[in-house]
Amino acid sequence: MSSFKLKVLLTGAAAVGKTSLVQRFIKNRFQANYKLTVGVDILTKDVEFRQGEIATLSIWDIGGQQRFEFIRSTFYKGAAGALLVFDLTREQTYTETRKWLTEIRQFAGENIPFVLIGNKADLVEDVGIVIDRNDARSFAENEGSIYIETSAKTGVSVDEAFTELTGRIIDSRTH
Ligand code: G3D
Ligand code: MG
């Protein structure tokens, strides 16, 4: 029995892996996948965020038209939390996370829980790290969150990212 229904957002620069992360997370167990004309995919999945406690996430994955104002307001409205994703191999996408966080808070609420995600961890060995991990960690912590490195390709820490976000949303409501 799930009593929590939560809208969560995938945010961050183009090509950081937002769609790949949600596809990895959902795998074969997704319950719905439909495209709105505004270019947003909404995928639903139950998450056991603590033992025996289930929340139903509707995960909003926005496409390339995200800059349009009318789409943006629909996207952010009623959001319970967000994954803020950057690409570990492209520094610019990390730099842009601050702007994304400002926008998320402006449109979805100052206290919206989020988790900072450095994606494409599988590439770091080859390409080398282009951001300061300590900086990412302290940025996330200073903003009341945590930093997690994921790979949509290998699947590493993808479940953890969504589960962690869900737990933070629930905690922010019940404490
Ligand atoms: P977006 O939804 O944020 O725009 P996508 O990003 O999920 O469309 O991914 C953009 C590109 O990055 C895709 O490559 C995708 O395969 C790749 N990608 C996403 N996540 C990872 C990851 O964890 N590791 C690696 N190695 N690649 C990843 P293409 O070539 O299709 O553009
Ligand atoms: Mg996408």
From the CA of 156, the nearest ligand is: 1
Out of 96-100, 122-126, 137-141, least confident range? 122-126
Instruction: Please name the helix (run of DSSP H) or strand (run of DSSP E) that holds residue 126, with its range, or none.
Output: helix 124-127
Pocket of ligand 1 (CB under 6 A): 14-20, 119-120, 122-123, 151-153
Pocket test for ligand 1, best of 9, 10, 16, 20 (most atoms within 8 A of CB): 20
Q: Tell me: the pLDDT tens digits for 35-47?
A: 444 578 899 999 9
Distance between Cα 140 and ligand 2 center (Å): 23
CB-based neighbours (< 5 A) of ligand 2, an ion: 18-19
Q: Show the domains of the chain with their CATH numbers.
A: 3-174 (3.40.50.300)
pLDDT at 38: 52
Tell me the C-alpha distance between 143 and 115, whole Å: 10
Strands 147-149 and 114-119: parallel
Ligand 1, atom 14, residue with closest C-alpha: 15
pLDDT band at 7 (very low <50, low <70, confident <90, very high): very high
Determine the Cα–Cα distance for residues 162 and 175; give it in Å rounded to an integer.
20
Cα of 111 vs centre of ligand 1, distance in Å, is: 29
Q: What are phi and psi of 99, to 5 degrees?
A: -65, -40
Q: Percentage of the chain with pLDDT > 90?
A: 71
User: Ligand 2 center to residue 173 CA distance, Å?
Assistant: 29
Question: Residue 115 above 50 pLDDT?
Answer: yes
Q: Is 4 helix (H, G, I), strand (E, B) or coil?
A: strand
Residue 155 has pLDDT above 80, yes or no: yes
Q: State the distance from the centre of ligand 1 to the C-alpha of 46, rounded, in angstroms.
A: 24
